[in-house]
Amino acid sequence: MKNPSILVLEDEPFQRLIAVTALRQLGLQCIHEAADGAEALARLDACSGVDIVLCDLRMAGMDGAAFLRHASEAGVVRSVILSSEAAPDLRQAIVSMTRSLGLQFLGDLGKPFDMERAAALIARHTPEPATVPVPGQSPDYPSLDDILRGLDQGEFEAWFQPKFHLGSETLQGAEVLARWRHPQHGVLSPSQFLPTMEANDLIDRLFWQLFAQGLALQQDLACTGRRVNLAFNLQPRQLSDQSLAGRIGKALAVAGLPGEGLTFELTETGLLEAPATSLEALVRLRLLGCGLAMDDFGAGYSSLDRLCELPFSQVKLDASFVRKLMIQPRSSAIISSAVALTKSMDMTLVVEGVETAEQRDQLLALGCQVAQGYLFARPQDRDSFLSLLARKGTPGIH
């Protein structure tokens, strides 16, 4: 890949000189510079744009925020590296704005200029925007006929994303996820079949296949005196089915299993679309002893209102707050508030997306207890999950 072209937008001459000199030492040849947003736009217009802009925020004349908006509208910049001494909350807001403008955000360089970090951020630049495949137009999306055949043949499997106690790393249960063991293509992830399933109203059929597999696993564990809580995802249209709770209760009775071993996860945004009959379904599930979790808590706009209205027993904090934990100071305040809120409402808080030991340690310091993420375990098939259960001992119901 050829070296990317870059614009250094910095109003302080000495800082700009340092940046330009360092970039040349990194081997970049096409480097432009400007002292404010208006000058930067003029230079970009003259050179037909650049790949990357190294952008300050506070400048006389047009500031960095206005520049990024104009540059996006003109299509003269593809990627952004932030270089500013502005407060962390302002820098984070610019990150969100940059992404919403359709620009690739490579990272926050900060000040003073760090050549090694600058090289790492520049290396993240991709020369062309990623293309998004469309169902039915890409080999990554199997056909509807193939999906129907897979459902008939029982090729869709329940995989398990474990939940752990942050401190002791004891197993606290698992979320049930869908995988397709395709005879030609191997194990396929949900992104390769769920869009087609959703478009053709097949999610309910997939749910009941995964649900049956989950109950079968719980039955096998019960025979050896073990048990594990399994969480299943429900969609709004399923809640409008008045027979849902009855079918789940009947399946539990036939399997000889308690409702306490099940949790049903619902996204907040999905609940906004749910009809009034959904409340009856949720109440009946709780009467069976099942848990209800609000998934992706904080990702929408009415989380608190829904927690008041609906009978949730668990809250799953959206992974975006963990991803921002080290770069956005306010994320810590939100997480600690979620800890206090769920404790006062006698709910369990599950933190999603924990990937590093540093995140785990900070979450523990904030009072979090239960989490799931790649730091502990990736989604795994039945055999691998049973092996994990054997290593981690007998979990309880949570």
Pick the residue with more confidence: 236 or 98? 98
Predicted pLDDT at 280:
81
Superfamily of structural domain 144-392: EAL domain (3.20.20.450)
User: Would you please indicate which residues are annotated as catalytic (active-site) residues?
Assistant: 352
Pick the residue with more confidence: 111 or 39? 39
Cα separations in angstroms, 6 against 81, 89, 151 = 10, 26, 51
Query: Quick one: CA dihedral 11, 17, 22, 23, positive or negative?
Result: positive
Q: What is the pTM of this model?
A: 0.67
Predicted pLDDT at 18:
92
Reading the block at residue 128, the tokens are 């062309």
Q: Which residues of the chain form CATH 3.40.50.2300?
A: 6-122
pLDDT tens, residue by residue, 175-212: 999 999 999 988 999 989 999 999 999 999 999 999 99
Predicted pLDDT at 217:
97
Per-residue DSSP letter, 380 = B
Within 10 angstroms of residue 236's Cβ, the number of other Cβ atoms is 16
- Length in residues, the chain: 398
Q: Which residues of the chain form CATH 3.20.20.450?
A: 144-392
pLDDT tens, residue by residue, 54-113: 999 888 888 888 899 999 988 999 999 998 888 776 777 788 888 888 899 998 888 888
Question: If you average pLDDT over residues 235-248, what whole number do you get?
Answer: 89
End-to-end CA distance of the chain: 51
Predicted pLDDT at 230:
97
Superfamily of structural domain 6-122: Response regulator (3.40.50.2300)
pLDDT tens, residue by residue, 17-26: 999 999 999 9
